Chains A and B, each alone.
Chain A
Amino acid sequence: MNNFLTSKTQVINIGLASFSPPIRSHGGTSVDLEWRPPAEGNSASGLALAQLMSDGKINAANQVALERYQAAQPILVGVGVAREELKGLGPRMLLHSGPPIAWENMCGPQKGAVLGAIVFEGWASTLLEAESLVAHGEVKLDACNHHSAVGPMAGIISPSMPVWIIENTTHGNRSYCNMNEGLGKVLRFGANGPEVIERLVWMREVLGPTVKSILQHLGPVALGPLIAQALHMGDEVHNRNAAASGLFFKKLTLAGLEILAKLDARKLKDTLAFIAANDHFFLNLSMAACKVMLEAADGVENSTMVTVMARNGVDFGIQISGLKGRWFTAPAPFVEGLFFSGYSQLDAARDLGDSAITETAGVGGFSMAASPAIVQFVGGTPADALANTRRMLQITLGQNSAFTLPALNFGGCPAGIDVRKVVDSSILPVINTGIAHKLAGIGQIGAGITHAPLSCFVKAVEALALKGVN
């Protein structure tokens, strides 16, 4: 029997706030919702969402997906060559960040990076020749995420590039990421001049093999605890990786010196110097670790957990566990932030790169509370950083106790974005990110904060509703 009449009347009030005071003054309670029409005001989608909310099967599926993500153990097992490690990477194929996109539709920095990679691979000797090749379809393009890989910014992975190999030892799946080139004129921001190609060649010839040897001596490196530690040291392992890069450098240095006899001393010194000079060196490991954890959660029927968020500078795309492999896209947003001297919002490309995989996994913007330095990009305070993390708790399925945040009283980071909660509350996933110049080759011009666009989440809800819960 409904005990409504015998209980104290405790109201959640949606709409006219003037209804609340009389309720309160006559012994009831009333909470006013800060309500806005869900699903961007599309009432049919809103009703479809309502059908999916509180669904037992979806909730159970999400529990499975979340547990798989949490149980995943991302372990760095080595460095390999992309063409040998990545399944389905064809001999004349380049991988790029974000959802799939045709050459002619790519943004400036991604185009620049594609051309640079073609020259780097030796398929063309000039950029002009490279452009003709790709324009004639003689170079295949595909999304990194289709190959269990991720790449920051333009996210180009070409067949001969060295890649990090991360294995999830719990479920046995692997993920991959290219190695970080540092700041300035770099391929991931679309730079493709001779010094960029030269650096890529050095990374292929020296950095990759040297780190590979060191790792062979060091053995598997568990990335989870390293990320956990870095989160207590002021990183959020997306836009700030200083601590994690330092921790990783410590591991490599000692192991490298231990096998000095087997290595070329000059190459070791250059390798360590290159890593030491780059506070973002760990980003690519962080991304691959997040990817391998989320891929473990992918493909759980009926699950509404987001497993990919990725951008190509034109589109922002997401994937959800219950609709494995399907992209739901919306125009990529611009990033709000600080610009290096001489640049402004007018120069900025739209949000770019696979690095939002970190937010998808609960770090990055979701763990902003761990990294108050980041909010300074948007003139925020540590309190804002904490508020951002708390807000993300409202759209996630749980908290990852492997990644604790001091500011949350050592509670776990918000983890497992539920596409339903996003559409219901219109709270958008927050993303910390760098800003690329919209033209190829200029590089990073700033950094800041952006939000995933609501409409891709609405599309995912609509697709789920159409498919139905089984």
Chain B
Amino acid sequence: MENTQHFLTGYYRDSVALMQLSSKLAAQEGIASASAQMATAANLELLVNAGLLDQVVPARPNDLLLVIRASTAEHGQAAFEFAKKTLDEKPSGGGPEKPEPPRSVEMALSAHPESNLVLISTPGEFAAAEALKALKQGLNVMIFSDNVSGAQEVMLKTYARDHELLVMGPDCGTSLIGGVPLAFANVVAAGAIGVVGASGTGIQQVTCLVDALGEGISHAIGTGGHDLSEEVGGITMLSALDLLAHDNNTEVIVLLSKPPARSVALKIIAAAKLVPKKVVICFLGAVEQLDGSNLSYARTLEEAAMLAVGLLRPSRKLSLTGRLVREKNQLDPHRTKGFVRGLYTGGTFCYEAQILLQSALGEVYSNIPTKGVKKLPDLWTSVGHTILDLGDDVFTRGKPHPMIDPSTRNERLLKEALDPQTGLIFFDLVLGYGAHEDPAAGLVEVIRQARESAHKGGRRLEFVGFICGTTKDPQGFEKQASTLRGAGVILAQSNAHAAEMVQYLVTGRLL
């Protein structure tokens, strides 16, 4: 028998607690008997009487005395360690209670240690700090907020890259990770096409069209709109590309961007070339391409979706060619007089429309002009052919984004209708989580008013629109579509399709 005694300082415990500890100790393997007591004179005497102590030792009433009688020294030591651990143990709660709501990432993580992503939609000035705290605790980040400085974006993304983490955003409107929609996302089928996009609406358009073509999405990773700038250098797109390259559920990868910085576009294409999967690249407005057997280039978002589906299912014969030839009987180009006005809620759609229409229409104006398009001098008054991104900060100041609150676009639409030069208005209608619950209903009401005011002026207005959404979206694709059709809107399948129709209606020429 090994008999050991340990005096522990700084462990005052109630006698009931110590009786519990004694009985737990005695139940340990190889322990014949054990006692945990405050070493008062009275307790020491009891221990001697109980035969646990050979003789009375000097009392140390403020110290805890452990007496352990074990079959071997190892068992004795193990029991001692157990006692120490039990004494130092944290509490497991004190009965029924309402948990403290987490106030910080640190608190939330300690209550939910399995967390792997922090989604940030605070005012922009606070977003970088929250993101940094998350990254430092090993969490991936999606920053929906905008107004984060370029320097902060680079700081966050560099940290993330060095620690094998992902920063989606800032200004990242959409992601879809393993079927889980983050922020403004559509409900799309699961599948084998992975998307990385420096464009929220671009991702929405491609994922919705893939869904409409009967295929699905593995993951759609938003990088934020500035990722492919010179300053940021595509850090997130490169990381996301690498993740999808290694992802077993992803067979074909689509890379999307609003007009990127040239050097960054080339860097990403070079990285894509090394990926052992088919990669479709749709960098709007970028002309340079590197050849690669696994690379395909798409001029439009719609084409990107179609190429991806085609690469995944080579047996499917998909083509956009000739679409308008088949449809042109229903379109009457001679009815459209005057200029076109594009009123977009999605910035990428606005870029894409400018790129598709500028050569056919000649002089085009925009608040976010791409190469060859003119800056609209007064953003509140359209001139000639004007294509606007109404989600731009200048239009939304103090108001929610027009995808959420359509009033900005509705007002502008009525204003365009009053302009005797306006002949055609075209627009996007974005569905999905985060978007307005029934955007078509309000829009057709405004379209009716617009037609009426044009009619009074002896004019006729044409409306062309398309819905970015799926049949599974909460707003219901069919319901939205029939509402628009009921108001005489010519409905396209995509933004590119809408642009083709606009061009045909105005010029009588096919793209």
Which A residues form the contact surface with B (CB < 8 A)?
1-2, 4-16, 18-19, 22-23, 26-31, 33-38, 43, 46-47, 49-51, 53-55, 70-71, 73, 222, 224-225, 228-229, 232, 369, 383, 386-387, 390-391, 394, 399, 401-402, 404, 406-412, 421, 424-427
Q: Evaluate contact between A404 and B13: CB separation under 8 angstroms.
A: yes
Q: Flag whether B164 is at the interface (Cβ < 8 A).
A: yes
Q: Flag whether B185 is at the interface (Cβ < 8 A).
A: yes
Q: Flag whether B394 is at the interface (Cβ < 8 A).
A: no
Choose one: A50, A369, A390; the contact of B130 (CB below 8 Å).
Answer: A50
Q: Evaluate contact between A408 and B91: CB separation under 8 angstroms.
A: yes
Q: Evaluate contact between A401 and B11: CB separation under 8 angstroms.
A: yes
Residues of A within 8 A of B102 (CB): 12, 31, 33-34
Q: Evaluate contact between B247 and A424: CB separation under 8 angstroms.
A: no
Q: Provide the bound-state CA to CA distance between A426 and B132, in Å.
A: 18
Among residues of B, the one whose C-beta sits closest to the C-beta of A169 is B9
Q: Evaluate contact between B97 and A386: CB separation under 8 angstroms.
A: yes
Q: Evaluate contact between A4 and B119: CB separation under 8 angstroms.
A: no
Choose one: A23, A50, A394; the contact of B180 (CB below 8 Å).
Answer: A23
Residues of B within 8 A of A387 (CB): 97-98, 100
Q: Flag whether B12 is at the interface (Cβ < 8 A).
A: yes
CB distance from A233 to the nearest CB of B (A): 10
Contact count A vs B, C-beta below 8 Å = 223
Residues of A within 8 A of B112 (CB): 10, 12, 29, 31
Among residues of B, the one whose C-beta sits closest to the C-beta of A48 is B129
Q: Flag whether B290 is at the interface (Cβ < 8 A).
A: no
Q: Provide the bound-state CA to CA distance between A30 and B182, in Å.
A: 11
- Quick one: which of B104, B187, B244 has the most chain A CB within 10 A? B104
Choose one: B114, B120, B219; the contact of A14 (CB below 8 Å).
Answer: B120
Q: Flag whether B105 is at the interface (Cβ < 8 A).
A: yes
Q: Evaluate contact between A16 and B108: CB separation under 8 angstroms.
A: no
Residues of B within 8 A of A16 (CB): 121, 144
Indicate with 1 or 0, residue by residue over B57-94, a CB within 8 angstroms of chain A CB atoms: 00001100000000000000000000000011111111
Q: Evaluate contact between A37 and B434: CB separation under 8 angstroms.
A: no
Residues of A within 8 A of B120 (CB): 14-15
Q: Provide the bound-state CA to CA distance between A5 and B210, in Å.
A: 20
CB distance from A52 to the nearest CB of B (A): 10
Quick check: which of B134-142, B226-234, B409-417 contacts chain A, the rest being far away? B134-142
Choose one: B107, B111, B185, B243; the contact of A425 (CB below 8 Å).
Answer: B107
CB distance from B269 to the nearest CB of A (A): 22
Residues of A within 8 A of B166 (CB): 2, 4
Residues of A within 8 A of B126 (CB): 37-38, 43, 46
A38 and B177 in contact, given A54-B137, A224-B62 (Cβ under 8 angstroms)? no
Residues of B within 8 A of A427 (CB): 103
CB distance from A104 to the nearest CB of B (A): 40
Q: Provide the bound-state CA to CA distance between A369 and B97, in Å.
A: 13
Interface residues of B in 134-167 (CB under 8 A from A): 134, 136-137, 139-140, 144-145, 152, 164-166
Q: Evaluate contact between B180 and A27: CB separation under 8 angstroms.
A: yes
Q: Flag whether B476 is at the interface (Cβ < 8 A).
A: no
Among residues of B, the one whose C-beta sits closest to the C-beta of A15 is B121
Interface size on B, residues (CB 8 A): 80
A15 and B117 in contact, given A33-B104, A50-B129 (Cβ under 8 angstroms)? no
Q: Evaluate contact between A225 and B116: CB separation under 8 angstroms.
A: no
Q: Provide the bound-state CA to CA distance between A423 and B126, in Å.
A: 14
Among residues of A, the one whose C-beta sits closest to the C-beta of B184 is A19
Q: Evaluate contact between A386 and B122: CB separation under 8 angstroms.
A: no
A43 and B125 in contact, given A10-B112, A19-B434, A390-B97 (Cβ under 8 angstroms)? yes
The 3 closest A-B CB pairs, nearest first, are: A411-B91, A15-B121, A228-B12
Residues of B within 8 A of A29 (CB): 112, 114-115
Choose one: A50, A224, A408; the contact of B132 (CB below 8 Å).
Answer: A50
Residues of A within 8 A of B91 (CB): 399, 408-411
A12 and B119 in contact, given A23-B181, A410-B91 (Cβ under 8 angstroms)? yes
Q: Flag whether B288 is at the interface (Cβ < 8 A).
A: no
Q: Evaluate contact between A9 and B177: CB separation under 8 angstroms.
A: yes
Q: Evaluate contact between A2 and B109: CB separation under 8 angstroms.
A: no
Q: Evaluate contact between B11 and A402: CB separation under 8 angstroms.
A: yes
Q: Evaluate contact between B105 and A12: CB separation under 8 angstroms.
A: yes
Q: Provide the bound-state CA to CA distance between A458 and B145, in Å.
A: 24
Q: Flag whether B433 is at the interface (Cβ < 8 A).
A: yes
A9 and B180 in contact, given A399-B90, A408-B91 (Cβ under 8 angstroms)? yes
- Quick one: which of A14, A50, A229 has the most chain B CB within 10 A? A14
CB distance from A63 to the nearest CB of B (A): 14
Residues of A within 8 A of B219 (CB): 5
Q: Evaluate contact between A10 and B133: CB separation under 8 angstroms.
A: no
A402 and B12 in contact, given A11-B117, A47-B128 (Cβ under 8 angstroms)? yes
Q: Flag whether B183 is at the interface (Cβ < 8 A).
A: yes
Q: Flag whether B118 is at the interface (Cβ < 8 A).
A: yes
Q: Evaluate contact between B94 and A394: CB separation under 8 angstroms.
A: no
Q: Flag whether B457 is at the interface (Cβ < 8 A).
A: no
Q: Provide the bound-state CA to CA distance between A73 and B104, in Å.
A: 34
Residues of B within 8 A of A426 (CB): 103
Q: Evaluate contact between A27 and B12: CB separation under 8 angstroms.
A: no
Residues of B within 8 A of A26 (CB): 179-181, 187
Q: List 21 A-B contacts (CB under 8 A).
A: A1-B243, A1-B246, A5-B249, A11-B182, A12-B109, A12-B112, A12-B117, A14-B118, A19-B433, A28-B177, A33-B102, A33-B105, A36-B103, A54-B137, A73-B10, A228-B12, A387-B100, A408-B94, A409-B94, A411-B90, A424-B104
Q: Provide the bound-state CA to CA distance between A7 and B112, in Å.
A: 15
Q: Evaluate contact between A18 and B434: CB separation under 8 angstroms.
A: yes
Among residues of B, the one whose C-beta sits closest to the C-beta of A7 is B116
Q: Evaluate contact between B108 and A53: CB separation under 8 angstroms.
A: no
Q: Evaluate contact between B103 and A28: CB separation under 8 angstroms.
A: no
CB distance from B165 to the nearest CB of A (A): 6
Q: Evaluate contact between A14 and B12: CB separation under 8 angstroms.
A: no
Q: Evaluate contact between B105 and A14: CB separation under 8 angstroms.
A: yes
Q: Flag whether B291 is at the interface (Cβ < 8 A).
A: no
A19 and B103 in contact, given A4-B177, A33-B108 (Cβ under 8 angstroms)? no
CB distance from B238 to the nearest CB of A (A): 13
Residues of B within 8 A of A54 (CB): 106, 133, 136-137
Q: Evaluate contact between B183 and A229: CB separation under 8 angstroms.
A: no
Q: Flag whether B276 is at the interface (Cβ < 8 A).
A: no
Q: Evaluate contact between B165 and A2: CB separation under 8 angstroms.
A: yes
Residues of B within 8 A of A50 (CB): 128-130, 132-133, 136
Residues of A within 8 A of B94 (CB): 369, 386, 407-409
CB distance from B332 to the nearest CB of A (A): 42
Q: Provide the bound-state CA to CA distance between A406 and B16, in Å.
A: 11
Q: Evaluate contact between A12 and B121: CB separation under 8 angstroms.
A: no
Residues of B within 8 A of A8 (CB): 114, 116, 178
Q: Evaluate contact between A14 and B433: CB separation under 8 angstroms.
A: no
Q: Provide the bound-state CA to CA distance between A2 and B135, in Å.
A: 12
Residues of A within 8 A of B139 (CB): 12
